[in-house]
Amino acid sequence: MSEVYSSAGGSSAAELTRDWADRVAANREQAERLREDSDGGDHYRPLASAFRADPRRSGDSALEALLSIAKPEDTWVDVGAGAGRFSLPLALQVRRVIAVEPSPAMRAELANLQIEHGITNVDLRDQRWPSEDPEISGMADVALISHVGYDIEQMGSFLDTMERAATRECVALQYDRSPGSMFWQVWPEIHGEEQVHLPGAVEFIELLEARGAEVEASDLERRGDRQRFVFDEPEAAMDWARRRLWLSENSAKLPALRKAVADLLVERDGGWSLPDQPKQMLIRWRTR
Which is it for the CA torsion 153, 154, 155, 156, positive or negative?
positive
Q: Give the pLDDT score at 6.
A: 43
Taking only the tens place, the pLDDT of each residue in 126-172 is 988 998 888 999 999 999 999 999 999 999 999 999 999 999 999 99
Number of H helices, E strands in the chain: 10, 11
Alpha carbon 273 to its chain centroid, in Å, reads: 19
Taking only the tens place, the pLDDT of each residue in 181-214 is 889 999 999 999 999 999 999 999 999 999 999 9
pLDDT of 104 > 80? The answer is yes
Strand partners, 170: 143, 285
- Residue 170 makes CB contacts below 8 A (sequence gap 6+) with 142, 143, 144, 145, 159, 162, 163, 284, 285, 286, 287
pLDDT of 78 > 80? The answer is yes
- 287 confidence band (pLDDT: 50, 70, 90): confident
Element (H, E) at 282: strand 280-286
Q: Give the pLDDT score at 48.
A: 47
* From 37-46, 108-117, 211-220, 242-251, the region with the lowest mean pLDDT: 37-46
Percentage of the residues of the chain whose pLDDT score is greater than 90? 71
Q: DSSP code of 198?
A: P
Distances in Å between the alpha carbon of 215 and those of 71, 170, 209, 243?
20, 10, 7, 34
Strand partners, 99: 78, 124
Interatomic CA distance for residues 191 and 193, integer angstroms: 6
Neighbours of 90 (CB within 10 A): 28
Query: Between residues 219 and 53, which one has the greater pLDDT?
Result: 219
- Residue 25 makes CB contacts below 8 A (sequence gap 6+) with 153
Angle among Cα 104, 109, 114 to the nearest 5 degrees reads 120
Compute the residue count for the chain.
288
The mean pLDDT value for 261-288 works out to 87
Q: Which of 208, 211, 219 lies closest to 175 in space, CA to CA? A: 219
Contacts by 268-272, CB closer than 8 A, 24 or more apart: 268/230, 269/226, 269/230, 270/230, 271/226, 271/230, 271/231, 271/232, 271/233, 272/230, 272/231, 272/232, 272/233, 272/234, 272/236, 272/237
Fold exhibited by the domain 2-230+279-286: Rossmann fold (3.40.50)
Question: What global pTM score does this model have?
Answer: 0.88
